[in-house]
Amino acid sequence: MRMKPVLIAAFALFCWTTLFYSQQQIPDIRGKIYGKGGVRIKLALPDFRPKESSETTISAAQKFHQVLWDDLQFSGIFQMVQREYYSLISPFDENRLNFEDWASIGSEALLVGNVSSQEEKLVVEARLFDVKTGQQMIGKRYRSDADQHRLIAHTLADEIVRTYTGQKGVATTQIVFVSDREGSKEVYLMDYDGDSQRRITYFQSINLFPAISPDGEAIAFTSYLEENPDLYLLRRHGGNIVRLVADLGMSTTPDWSPDGKKLLFTSSRDGNAEIYMVKADGSDVTRLTRNHTIDTSPCWSPTSRQIAFTSDRSGSPQIYIMDAEGTNITRLTRQGNYNDTASWSPNGLEIAYASRVGGIFDIFVINLTNEEVRRLTIDSGSNENPSWSPDGRHIVFSSNRSGSYQIYTMYPDGSDQKRLTTRGNNTSPRWSRWTK
Amino acid sequence: MTWQKKESLILVSFLLILMLAFSFSCARKAKPVRTAAEEPAEVTPPEEVTEEVKKPATAEEWEAGKVEKAELTVNDYNVMGVLKDVHFDFDKYNIKSQEATILEENSRWLLANPTVIVLIEGHCDERGTNQYNLALGERRSQSAKAYLIALGVSPERFKTISYGEEMPVDPGHNEIAWAKNRRAHFLIISK
């Protein structure tokens, strides 16, 4: 929490210049789903040259390059041209690029740059070229605190993804989750790639269902801090803990509206688990469902016009969709006899959820247009709590395939499952939205 | 520490070791048979210690319930398990007929102890989502509460809470553990 002002200071990113920018040369790959069979741009990323021979700069250049490589590889839109081919190109001079050489090893895009230390700051210069035409697509200089090589790499990676897709990448986003690694179930936060895992709550109590606000400034969650499952709000600055909803049965599963002004949650304040809406300051609690069965796990659509939720009104938990006012309730899932934890894709077209198969869960995605269902996980323990990345190219979820619950990411076709956590049991992940 | 003190300490410890070694060797010998020639060792009387000796509760006191009420704490009640858990079927929250007798016993105790306040905890096994299980646990605690109210226990004497699958009584991952974990537990919070 105390990191924020430091980060702001550190994040005095200095955007230098965009020398040349050619819209026509950018391949149009917008709106595609990237998985095993997705279209990828072949990107060459040779080492960034340390401008000074000091150990600090050399090490910073290496670390920066590795983070950038991993970010771009993860983004799902690039196929990284393997490093061993780079040695075929010689002499490599970042200021005199022979694009034919780079094309000969299969690159379509080339990213070059250098790293230097100036007045205890880390400075990175980077240029992205279209190999075919030799045109520069990005020219940037970033400056930040000396230890912020990861932040600069993430920022540059997101910018490169934006160049090709029209939409920022997710390298600067975070994942909030629950972990029992230090005893009780507490709220934790980590970078999208599993780095910088840090504990947020010290309640020595059961804490569940953390959801980070769209502006990244608050985390809503359920806690037994006062011996009852109530809804709490933790703000980044000042660290005040606000009990939003208290002492009226249970208050669980918060979900932020896309504008960050309201929350949906489950409450039994009127005697039975129903879906409610509350303003982010805790006022104006509105009841949305009226049914004698269980209604829970609400999730806003990206336009905030509709709400997906779980109800067992048909006899078993299934996912339903209703209008934001609680009207027009229709059943969505018809396969499987236990479906819960809907997560609406950012493009609004799909919903990911967990479905019970035997005694364990697997992640499924249902297309809202044709109601086709695809299975993302199979034969790998119980897989639960899917949550989309803000660009819709990844899904984070928890799985006990290793013997304990850990957090994983994958493409929305189920490919490239990658583990992010190791200690204790880690569950209930939620991907942050892009902060402005 | 002065040398004399150290010396005396060494001496004392040496003697102690000697005594121990002696008693050990004695213990290893066959049971000594007391002969008439042996003089009984002189026994020093114990230091005077005043010890409160409580008068055992009389039958009258038990009958009047005085002792029980005065001496047993809320925690004692809970440890004794005066109120028994009721168990549920997988994914269900209705009271099974074989569990109804447990609730009848619980209601009798509650009616006999009319000031006791109870927190009914609803619990689930691990095989659902945490989200749905919290709601299911809530339903289980409410089912148990409604049943006890129907048996004549006043509604104000109950509070309910759901722990979903967060507090298993048996941490196992098998049918025996799951059956134990699908329960409503009665925690006495005041009397």
Q: Are residues A108 and A255 in the same domain?
A: no
Q: Are residues A93 and A220 in the same domain?
A: no
Q: Are residues A354 and A206 in the same domain?
A: yes
Q: How far apart are CA B97 and CA A53, in angstroms?
A: 81
Answer whether the bond into residue A91 is a cis peptide, omega within 30°.
yes
Q: How far apart are CA A366 and CA A323, in angstroms?
A: 18
Greater confidence, B11 or A315? A315
Q: Please check the confidence at residue B182 and state whether its pLDDT lies above 60.
A: yes
Q: In chain B, which residues have their Cβ closer than 8 Å to the Cβ of A360?
A: 127
Residue type, B94: N
Q: Residue A316's domain spans which residues?
A: 174-431
Greater confidence, B39 or B159? B159
Q: Which of B130, B135, B161 sits opposite A294 (nearest CB)?
A: B135
Q: Are residues A344 and A323 in the same domain?
A: yes
Among the residue ranges A371-385, B52-66, B111-125, B138-152, the one predicted with the least confidence is: B52-66
ipTM of this complex prediction, to 2 decimal places: 0.86
Q: Are residues A184 and A160 in the same domain?
A: no
At residue A7 the predicted structure's pLDDT band, cuts being 50, 70 and 90, is very low
Cβ contact A237:A214 at 8 Å: no
Largest CA distance in chain B: 84
What pLDDT is recorded for position B1? 47
Q: Which of B127, B131, B138 sits opposite A359 (nearest CB)?
A: B127
Q: How far apart are CA A223 and CA A209, in angstroms?
A: 9
Q: Are residues A62 and A106 in the same domain?
A: yes
What pLDDT is recorded for position A245? 73
Q: In chain A, which residues have their Cβ closer than 8 Å to the Cβ of B127?
A: 356, 359-360
Q: Please check the confidence at residue A190 and state whether its pLDDT lies above 90.
A: yes
Q: Are residues A138 and A225 in the same domain?
A: no
- Mean of the per-residue pLDDT values for chain A? 89
Give me the mean pLDDT over the A60-65 stretch.
96
Q: Which of A250, A316, A356 sits opposite B162 (nearest CB)?
A: A250
Among A165, A191, A207, give the residue marking a domain's end: A165
Residue A2 falls inside a structural domain: no
Q: Which of A206, A227, A384 sits opposite B129 (nearest CB)?
A: A384
Interface of A with B (CB under 8 A): 185, 206, 208-209, 222, 227-229, 249-250, 252-253, 266, 268, 271-273, 294-297, 310, 312, 316-317, 338, 340-341, 354, 356, 359-361, 384-385, 427-428
Q: In chain A, which residues have their Cβ closer than 8 Å to the Cβ of B130?
A: 208-209, 427-428
Q: Are residues A352 and A425 in the same domain?
A: yes
At residue B65 the predicted structure's pLDDT band, cuts being 50, 70 and 90, is low
What pLDDT is recorded for position A161? 95
Residue-wise pLDDT tens digits, B120-137: 999 999 999 999 999 999
Domain locations along chain B: 66-190
CATH number, domain of A220, equals 2.120.10.30
- Class level of CATH domain B66-190: alpha beta
Please judge whether A266 and B138 are an interchain contact, meaning their C-beta atoms are less than 8 angstroms apart: no
Q: Are residues A24 and A104 in the same domain?
A: yes
What pLDDT is recorded for position A1? 40
- Quote the number of domains for chain A: 2
Q: Are residues A180 and A122 in the same domain?
A: no
Residue-wise pLDDT tens digits, A106-153: 999 999 999 999 888 999 999 999 999 999 999 999 999 999 999 999
- Residue of A228, A231, A268 best to disrupt the B interface, most CBs of B under 10 A: A268
pTM to 2 decimal places:
0.82
Beta-sheet strands, E only, within B112-157: 117-123
Q: Are strands A41-44 and A78-80 parallel, antiparallel or unpaired?
A: parallel
What torsion do the CA atoms of A142, A148, A153, A155 make, to the nearest 10 degrees? -60
Give me the mean pLDDT over the A58-79 stretch.
96
What pLDDT is recorded for position A359? 83
Please judge whether B129 and A185 are an interchain contact, meaning their C-beta atoms are less than 8 angstroms apart: no
Give me the mean pLDDT over the A251-266 stretch.
96
Residue A1 falls inside a structural domain: no
Q: Are residues A198 and A151 in the same domain?
A: no
Give me the mean pLDDT over the A372-382 stretch.
96
Q: Are residues A419 and A309 in the same domain?
A: yes
Cβ contact A432:A211 at 8 Å: no
Residue A125 falls inside a structural domain: yes
What pLDDT is recorded for position A73? 95
What pLDDT is recorded for position B20? 55
